[in-house]
Amino acid sequence: MSSATTKRLIPVLAAVGLTALGVVGLSKIGCVNVHTPAGHVGYVRSKPLFGAGEFVGTQVGPTSTGWVWREDVVNIDVRRRTYSEDMIVITAKGSELRFRAHARIALSQDKVKDVVERYGGPDWYASNVQRQFQNEVRQAVAPLDPFEAKNRSFEIAETVKASLNERYKESPFEFESVDIGDIQYPPTIVTSVIRKFGTFQENERRDIE
């Protein structure tokens, strides 16, 4: 090959090289490897340059998609978890009752698509469940007096669990258990009970004398 031919090929080869580097660079910019950790299910969707992305599929962690063109993932924690609420309820006699309500909720791995598209994604509890849970507990406790609420706490919990499972029977959520605990009576009621107990003891003492 003559030197003249070589000189003519150099610009061509340089242009080809730059083009190849550009293609590789663009592919690296557009390609991603999205990861889903253990205990989660990933909702994978496309991420086009323009317009809304579309659902691609789900992946069970720990895993990743491998290098793919412009996708992202919304990871949903599907491990069983207990959610606790500090409650203040005005009971039947107008007394304020404070307690904690606990709900253990399981999330169906097969319905992660619904969790993302219908129930707020990772914020599904705060967006769609928390307020309903609080309302069901409040409605079960409010008609009772404070001592009755404590004595019937197991019954209240079972009623709330059944009602919530009925409400969410077509959803990805299952209420495995509900518990009512840490009940705190109002100071006025505590004082009244102490006085009554003191009066009872005094009357017994007088009867004995």
Burial 27-61 (b: 16+ CB within 10 A, else e): eeeeebebebeeebbbbbbebeeeeeeeebebbeb
Percentage of the chain beyond pLDDT 70 is: 75
Q: What is the 3-state secondary structure (H, E, C) of the chain?
A: CCHHHHHHHHHHHHHHHHHHHHHHHHHHHHEECCEECCCEEEEEEECCCCCCCCEEEEEECCEECCCEECEEEEEEECCCEEEEEEEEEECCCCCEEEEEEEEEEEECHHHHHHHHHHCCHHHHHHHHHHHHHHHHHHHHHCCCCHHHHHHCHHHHHHHHHHHHHHHCCCCCEEEEEEEEEEEECCHHHHHHHHHHHHHHHHHHHHHHC
Q: Would you say 59 and 37 are in contact if contact means Cβ atoms under 8 Å apart?
A: no
**Res 14: pLDDT:** 45
**Res 16: pLDDT:** 44
**Res 47: pLDDT:** 87
**Res 13: pLDDT:** 46
pLDDT band at 26 (very low <50, low <70, confident <90, very high): very low
Tell me the CA distances in angstroms from 97 to 77, 158, 188, one per residue in order: 33, 19, 11
How far is it, in rounded angstroms, from Cα 68 to Cα 121? 23
Residue 81, phi-psi category: left (phi > 0), alpha (psi -120 to 50), beta (remainder): beta
**Res 130: pLDDT:** 97
Q: What is the pLDDT of residues 80-102, one digit of tens each?
A: 999 999 999 998 878 889 999 99
Provide mean pLDDT across the span 170-190.
86
Residue among 184, 143, 140, 186 nearest 162 (CA): 140
**Res 51: pLDDT:** 72
